[in-house]
Amino acid sequence: MNVPQVRRVLITGIAGSGGSYLAEYVAERHPEVEIHGLVRWRSTNQNLAAIKDKVRLHESDLTDLSSVFRAVEAAKPDAIFHLAAHANVRASFDTPAAVLANNILGTSNLFEAVRMTRRDPLIQLCSTSEVYGQVDPKNVPITEDCPLRPVSPYAVSKTAADLLGWSYFKSYGMKIVRTRMFTYLNPRRTDLFATSFARQIARIELGLQKEIVHGNLDSVRTFIDVRDAMAAYWAALLRGEPGEVYNIGGSTTMTVGECLKRLRALSKKKISVRQDPELMRPADVTLQVPCVDKFIRATGWKPRYGFEESLKDLLEYWRKEARKEMP
């Protein structure tokens, strides 16, 4: 297939944990590409510190169509990565309406803004493995044809956004590629269990807290490094087929408890743990093992970072952050 030329990209959620890594990937690997991003007035932008001179930011709120229209008109992108979302699964049970409104309306507004500006960009729509919900073991490893059975308000919102991508492709011919990302190791996203574990271990090593508190340790997950995940998004944009959906994930599978065990083994201190009922979800996804054959066939993507390397990088990141808390 002919690989399209991309000159200007627009990243929604560019200041967030995933969007900032994606911006860094594009800046490093594709310096000829002009990077634009949507930020809200309350965004801190600290995740973009290393590339602040390489990105152009547009203040916008995806729930405000007029602001999205102005940003798309100003950026004039030939490619859009839609990563912005209220993505805290546990919190979505407490504020379901806010999560549903933000994620569904925000996606709809982005697509409508593209239509209103009469642009025809490539669009990579970031969905999630959470849309599969509680998967029947007979459907593991999970393919893209697995039934969608979301169990959290967040997962419901992402399922709706996922299907909006299909709808706008079929109805208006928009060049939307959907990706469903499985568990990734992302140091900048503190609501992820692995990041929470690493942060707590780093604080315990410095005497800033006494023990790790955790939620469900029995869920089975397959892990990928966030840097590989962002490279996969780029590959999906350029080599994915509009209208199609692709699972993205790693090849290392274990329980959440085993991930915690391996992180504890990287510390020289004895780490005590305790389950916190407040961290347990009313309903949890317990078997998240992907089949990524379709994505690899379409793009030729391969991960660069091994699980152990990613885990060490995650812990070192939080050791540096924890030191900032010291008097």
Q: Mind listing the pLDDT tens digit for each residue in 159-187?
A: 999 999 999 999 999 999 999 999 999 99
Mean pLDDT of 221-232: 98
Mean pLDDT of 265-277: 95
pLDDT at 174: 98
Mean pLDDT of 307-321: 98
Domains detected in the chain: 8-183+225-250 (3.40.50.720), 193-220+253-284+305-323 (3.90.25.10)
Q: Mind listing the pLDDT tens digit for each residue in 278-304?
A: 999 999 999 999 999 999 999 999 999
Give this prediction's pTM: 0.96
pLDDT at 41: 85
Give the dihedral sign, CA 240/242/245/248.
positive
Contact 151, 161 (CB under 8 A): no
Strands of 200-325 (E only): list them.
212-214, 220-225, 245-248, 252-255, 273-275, 287-288
Average per-residue pLDDT in the chain?
97
Beta bridge partners of 128: 181
Beta bridge partners of 56: 36
Which amino acid, one-letter code, is at 24? E
Q: Mind listing the pLDDT tens digit for each residue in 7-62?
A: 999 999 999 999 999 999 999 999 999 999 999 988 888 999 999 999 999 999 99
Query: Given pLDDT bands bounded at 50, 70 and 90, which one contains residue 1?
Result: low
Q: How far apart are CA 302 and CA 47, in angstroms?
A: 26
